[in-house]
Structure 1
Amino acid sequence: MNILQYESKIWATADLLRGSGIKESEWPSYMMPFFALTMIESRLVRMFDNLKAEIGEEAFASINKDDLYEMIKDQGQGYNIYIFEKNQTLADICMNDKSFDIDFDAYLHGFDGETKDLLGVDATEGEKFLDIKGVISKLKAKKVLMGYTKLWSEIDLKPFNNSEITTLEEHIKRKWADISAETAGEQYTPDDVIALIADIIASKIEESDKLLKIYDCTCGGGNLLFGVEDRINAKFKRLTQTYGQDWNDALYALAKIESRFRPDSKIEHGNTLVEDKFYNEEFDVVIANPPYGVSWKGYQKDIENDKTDRFKFIPSISDGQLLFMQHLISKLDSNGMGVVVHNGSTLFSGDAGSAESNIRKWMLDSDIVEAVIQLPTDEFFNTGIYTYLWVLNKNKSLISKDKVMLINASEKFKPLNKSKGSKRKEVDETSRLEIVETLTQYVDKEYAKVFEKEHFYFNKQAIMLTNVDEYGYSFYAKLKQGKTSEKLTPVKLSNGERELSEFVITTFDAEKYNYLADAFEKDIKPFISSLDYKEQALVITTSTAKYWFDAEQETLIKEVNGKKDLLGCGKIVVKSAYKNASKTQPERIEISVELSPDFQKDYEIIPFHKDEVDNELAIKAFMAKYITKPFAYLENVVGVELNFNKIFYKSEELREVLDIMSEINSIDAELKALELGLAL
């Protein structure tokens, strides 16, 4: 009997929700706790039946209640008084409508403490997990609680093993993901992507007596973590152990419930970035599909004060993806590997010197990135963007040492016959095997390129340009050695273009700033009145000369007795500063005027060379070729970005002019025929 035949029956329970006026987007929150209840009961009943068969009916009947409790407790799958002591299930309770409310409440409270917590039987404030208490309250208000519970009680999963129930669970969670990205779909990874991740991992591991420890730091409902484990178990005899952590109450509860029916699985609740529940563990395999573009402002202080040394750099507060990446790398053992799903921002966000660029550089410096795989668009249920698989490996083969492979798998898909939310494509088995084979071979193909890791580095060289006039001169050449400007003592200022580097005073509140009233009258008013905004240029008149800036020639001009001297490109800078009263002078606002060179800070992006001498020579060659103005070198920062568009860009093939003209003539003829038809 195929368990997937129950998928439609389970989904049919939502018909009652629809009839009760409950919005489709809210269905998962109503279905989750009851589906979990059905899975738990079926597994407990099957475990109970297996125990009876193993011990024998007569011997089992003679076991007292305390011994029975300890025996079942040792199984680690939970306990329920109704199931184990009264031989009653949810279906039995639903047979008596008169006592249903009392019996159902007693049935739920008959579970062990952990199960009650996960289901949210006594949920009040704080962590409610699946919040069955809240759901029951809403269903009671709509007078459909018993009818809804009865529908679920008719779903008998007892004939199926854990693996089959897990398969059904993943199909149901996928449907929830289709309709509600805010619940199950928030962290749901499609089956085809899970299969690709599992195949990549399988290509990197081998049979061994050593336990394979698999970790997902944002495990959600467990579909990625358990999906990878099941596929690894299908290919290898090697024993596996799964570890997962998630912050979402309901998703954690689903994963935790599932973990209790697996041979060796540990699921914890909490924010991985703030409180790593597996702080003393390292893993053979790490996997994750962390949230994209989610702010971590709410726990900023915890991240900035983190003492674990896992965060080498702190990225932008608006996106925590690279925090998860650093955390996962810190959890790898000496030979560990991983596959992490990210959006494109982790490839190129942030300029050279930014935390994002520095994280990428640290990863490539550490030679931990083996490949990045671009997946097709429309692959996930709640987004149509490109997504990327980062393949991490601390035990690279010789052919991949100090190299990174980019695989453009954006065209490796099969269209779905029917869209599932935003998901319109899937990486089919043929494409999946081809991608894994390409990664294994690690040689260039049309859609895959291998690069030395330094290919992705670049120099961001800062320089200070000295702007020159149309004759190639700068005022800098006129200054005495060691000076950066020349101060003037003006006797008159006529208006024009000017630079007030500190502030411009246009009005003055003498009452509010009465302590500056005298200074205003003495110093500021004359300055303001001397500025005529109708003039073309600011002219500084001293006792010996006049100075102004000629915009056409881009030069400072000094005029003495009618003779003009070109000083080179520069600036007239007018400054004002408040001065406290001294023994010889009252408090005042002093205005100063300086002639200074026109410096401009600029940046040049230059290809990187891993040899330090070659890199310096390349920078100098670039400057000699492209920079024509005088300049001084400032700091050089090495950045890293992985740009798929640059590497795999294909320009659109241009059409022949004759073909285009022919098409235009054809369209023109069709339009004329239509006009003629309308005229008739």
Structure 2
Amino acid sequence: MNILQYESKIWATADLLRGSGIKESEWPSYMMPFFALTMIESRLVRMFDNLKAEIGEEAFLNINKADLYEMIKDKGQGYNIYIFEKNQTLTDICRNDKSFEIDFDAYLHGFDGETKDLLGVDATEGEKFLDIKGVISNLRAKKVLMGYTKLWSEVDLKPFNNSEITTLEEHIKRKWADISAETAGEQYTPDDVIALIAEIIASKIEESDKLLKIYDCTCGGGNLLFGVEDRINAKFKRLTQTFGQDWNDALYALAKIESRFRPDSKIEHGNTLVEDKFYNEEFDIVIANPPYGVSWKGYQKDIENDKTDRFKFLPSISDGQLLFMQHLISKLDSLGMGVVVHNGSTLFSGDAGSSESNIRKWMLDSDIVEAVIQLPTDEFFNTGIYTYLWVLNKNKKLQQKDKVMLIDASEKFKPLMKSKGSKRKEVDEISRLEIVKTLTQYQDTDYAKVFNKEFFYFNKQAIMLTNVDVYGKSFEEKLKEGKKSEKLIPTKLSNGERELNEFSITTFDADQFTSLTDAFEQDIKKFIASLDYKEQPLVISTDLAKYWFDSEKETLIKEVNGKQETLGNGRIVVKSVFKKASKTQPERIEINVELTPDYQKDYEIIPFHKDEIANKKGIVSFMTQYITKPFNYLENIVGVELNFNKVFYKQENLRSVVDILAEIDVIENELKALEARLIL
């Protein structure tokens, strides 16, 4: 029997939901608890049958209830009074419509405490997990509870093993992803991406007696975590142990239920970034597909006060991806490796000196990044963007030391015959094997490049430019040594629309303002702030001269008795300040004017060299070649970004003008011929 025959049967239950007026986006929340219920029952029944076979039919009939309970409890897979003591299942309960609701309620309450919690049998406020109680209440109100339950009771998963049930589970989760990004599918990783991640991991491990510990800090429903484990188990005889944590109630419950039917798996509920449930564990393998662009503002204080030392830098509060990255690195053992799925922002968001850039620099400084693989667009169910696999490795081979490989696998896919939500492509097996081979060989190809890690570093050199006029002069040259400005004692200030003749104002117009303070705030302060010495004909007069800025020559002008002198590029700075009354002076508005050089802070992005002396020489050489104005060096910050477009950019060959014109002539002739036929 092929278990996938039940996929269509399970999704037929949605027809009843549709007929009840339940929105399509809400279907997964109704289907998840019943699918989990069906899985649990099938596995408990199969476990019970296996137990009978182990101890023998005759011995089983003579075993007392307490011993039977202990034997089942030791299996760690759950308990149900109806299944183990009454030998009844959901199918039996659905046969009697008169007692159905009473029996169904007793059946649900017949589970062990943990199962009831995960299903949400007695859910109230707070954690509801799968919230089957709320779903039942809504179905009862729609008068379809028994009909809906009966449909699920007809899904008989008992003949299938754990691996087969997991396969069906992944198909169901994938369809949840198709329906709504707000449901369980939000964190769903496509099967082909899981297969690629597993192939990458498999290429780096060997047979051993050592237990292989695999960890996913945002495990969702467990599809990535368990999918990787199953594929590794298919290739190796090594014992594996899985660890996962997730904050989403329903997804955690699904993963927890699945974990109970696996040989060695631990799933915890909670926010990994705030409360690491495996704080004392390190792992051989870390994998994750953390949420993209999700804010961590809601638990900002907890992150800022974190005492684990796992967060070296805190990225933008609007996107926590690099928090998860730092957490995962902290969980690797001394020889551990990992594969983490991220969107493009982790490669280049944030300028030099930003937390994002500093995190990337810390990762490359630590030589933990082996490669970054760009996947095709339209690969995930709920987004069409490019996604990237970060391959982390604390046990790099000698040829990989202090190097990073970029693999542009954006064209390594097979189009799907039928799209699945936003997913229109898949990284097929041939492409997966080719990507892994390229990563293993660690040599340049037409779609992969190996770089010294410093290739991704850059200098962001800050400088203070001194702007000059058309003659190459700055007002700085007119200042006496040690002076930064020249203060003027003005007699008049004019901007072409308004004149000021008082520069220590003590009176105000009582018809317009209630006080001198009011006149300052409502008039003088705003007027002074609006002055623009470059754009307005702003003229400052003193007893001896007039000053203004000539925007064409970009210079300050000083005029004495009709004779003009260029002072060099500079600024006219006008400031106003309110002074409170003192013992010797009344309250007043003082207006000050000064001439200053025009300084401008700028930044230059300059290639980086790991040798400090060579790096300084490179900066000086760059400045000599490209900066013509006088300047002073300020701080230099080293940034890091991994830019796929820069590395793999291919210039498009433009068609010649002759070819384009010839094509236009052909089209025009065709249009004329068509027009002639219409006239005829």
Same fold judged by TM-score > 0.5?
yes
CA contact (8 A) 1:443 1:449 kept: yes
Contact 2:524/2:576 (<8 A) preserved? no
Match of 1:418 in 2: 418
For residues 164-221 of structure 1, the C-alpha deviation after alignment (integer angstroms, 9 at most, x for no partner) is: 1111111111111111221121000000000000000001111111110000011000
2:313 alignment counterpart: 313
Q: Which residue of 2 aligns with 1:75?
A: 75
User: 1:470-549, aligned counterparts within 5 Å?
Assistant: 470-495=470-495, 516=516, 537-549=537-549
Name the SS of the counterpart of 2:557 in structure 1. Answer: strand
Task: Give distance in 1, aligned partners of 2:557 and 2:460.
Answer: 36
Aligned residue pair count: 669
User: What pairs with 1:165-314 in structure 2 (closer than 5 Å)?
Assistant: 165-314=165-314
Q: Distance in 1 between matches of 2:494 and 2:661?
A: 63
Deviates more, 1:487-496 or 1:612-621: 487-496
Partner of 1:600: 600
Following superposition, the deviation at residue 225 of structure 1 comes to 0.2
Give the partner amino acid of 1:53: A
In the aligned structure 1, how far is the partner of 2:68 from the partner of 2:675?
A: 91
Task: Evaluate the alpha carbon distance shift between residue 512 and residue 337 of structure 1 in structure 2; reply closer, same or farther with a 3 A threshold.
Answer: farther
- Contact (CA 8 Å) 1:361, 1:640: kept in 2 or not? yes
Tell me by how many angstroms 1:495 deviates.
2.2
Give a deviation string over 1:212-256, Cα, whole Å, max 9, x none. 000001100000000000000000101000000111111110000
Provide the rounded CA distance (Å) in 1 between the counterparts of 2:437 and 2:88.
53
State the one-letter code of the partner of 1:553: K
CA shift digits 1:571-592 (9 cap, x unpaired): 1111111223222212222111
Shift of the 177–557 alpha-carbon distance from structure 1 to 2, 3 Å rule, reads same
Indicate the SS of the match to 2:274. Answer: coil
CA contact (8 A) 2:513 2:519 kept: no
Alpha-carbon offset, residue 519 of structure 1: 8.5
SS at structure 1 position matched to 2:75: coil
Instruction: Determine the structure 2 residue equivalent to 1:159.
Output: 159
**Equivalent residue, structure 2, for 1:17:** 17
SS at match of 2:417: strand
Residue 9 of structure 1: CA displacement? 1.6
Corresponding residue for residue 467 of structure 1? 467
Q: How much identity, in percent, do the aligned residues show?
A: 87
Query: What secondary structure, in the 3-state scheme, does the structure 1 residue paired with 2:266 have?
Result: strand
Answer yes or no: is the 8 Å Cα contact 1:510–1:517 preserved in 2. no
Where do residues 334-373 of structure 1 align in structure 2 (5 Å cutoff)?
334-373=334-373
1:655 aligned residue: 655
Alignment of 1:615-634 (within 5 A): 615-634=615-634
Inter-partner Cα distance in structure 2 for 1:658 and 1:619? 45
Alpha-carbon displacement from aligned partner over 1:452-500 (angstroms, at most 9, x marks no partner): 00000111111111010110000001111111101111122222599x9
Structure 1 residue 524: deviation in Å?
5.5
Contact 1:497–1:538, Cα closer than 8 Å, also in 2: no
- The question of 1:553 aligning with 2:525 is answered no
- For 2:14, give the aligned amino acid: A
Separation in structure 1 between the aligned mates of residue 398 and residue 328 of structure 2, nearest angstrom? 24
Name the SS for the 2:160 alignment partner.
coil
Change (3 A) 1:518 1:138: closer
> Amino acid of the residue matched to residue 293 of structure 2?
G
Contact 2:462 2:603 (C-alpha < 8 Å) held by counterparts: yes
Counterpart contact for 1:494–1:532, Cα < 8 Å = no
State whether residues 284 and 336 of structure 1, in contact with CA within 8 Å, keep that contact through their aligned partners in structure 2. yes
- Alignment partners' CA distance in 1, 2:371 and 2:520: 67
Q: How far has the Cα of 1:5 moved from its partner?
A: 1.6
CA distance in 2, matches of 1:25, 1:540: 69
Offset, 1:659: 2.6
TM-score (norm 2): 0.95
Judge conservation of contact 1:519–1:587 (CA < 8 Å) in 2: no
Provide the rounded CA distance (Å) in 1 between the counterparts of 2:520 and 2:290. Answer: 60
Amino acid across the alignment from 2:634: L
> CA 1:138/1:591 → structure 2, altered by over 3 Å: closer, same or farther?
same
Give 1:654 shift: 2.0
List alignment gaps of at least 5 residues for structure 2: none
Q: Deviations over 1:121-145 (max 9, x none)?
A: 0111111111111111111111111
For the 8 Å contact 2:212–2:239, the answer to whether it is kept is yes
Instruction: Indicate conservation of the 8 Å contact 2:339/2:389, yes or no.
Output: yes
Distance change >3 Å, CA 10–CA 565, structure 1 → 2: same
Cα distance in 2 for partners of 1:469, 1:111 equals: 85
CA contact (8 A) 1:575 1:593 kept: yes
Relative to structure 1, is the Cα distance of residues 517 and 658 closer, same or farther in structure 2, using a 3 angstrom cutoff? closer
Backbone CA RMSD of aligned residues:
2.3
The one-letter amino acid of 1:78's match is: G
Whole-Å separation in 1 of the counterparts to 2:508 and 2:443: 73
Distance 1:670 1:99, change over 3 A: same
Alignment-mate amino acid for residue 460 of structure 2: K
Given that residues 170 and 223 in structure 2 are in contact (C-alpha distance below 8 angstroms), is that contact kept between their aligned partners in structure 1?
yes
Deviation at 1:661, TM superposition (A): 2.5
**Contact 1:519 1:589 (C-alpha < 8 Å) held by counterparts:** no
User: CA separation in 2, counterparts of 1:203 and 1:215?
Assistant: 18
Is contact 1:347-1:641 (8 Å) kept?
A: yes
Q: For 1:319 and 1:73, how far apart are their aligned partners in 2?
A: 43
Take 2:582 and 2:201, find their aligned partners in 1: how far apart are those partners? 77
SS at match of 1:373: strand
1:517 Cα deviation from its structure 2 partner: 5.8
**Where does the alignment leave 5 or more consecutive residues of structure 1 unmatched?**
none
CA change 1:653–1:277 in 2 (3 A) is same
Does the aligned pair in 1 maintain the 2:517–2:578 contact within 8 Å?
no
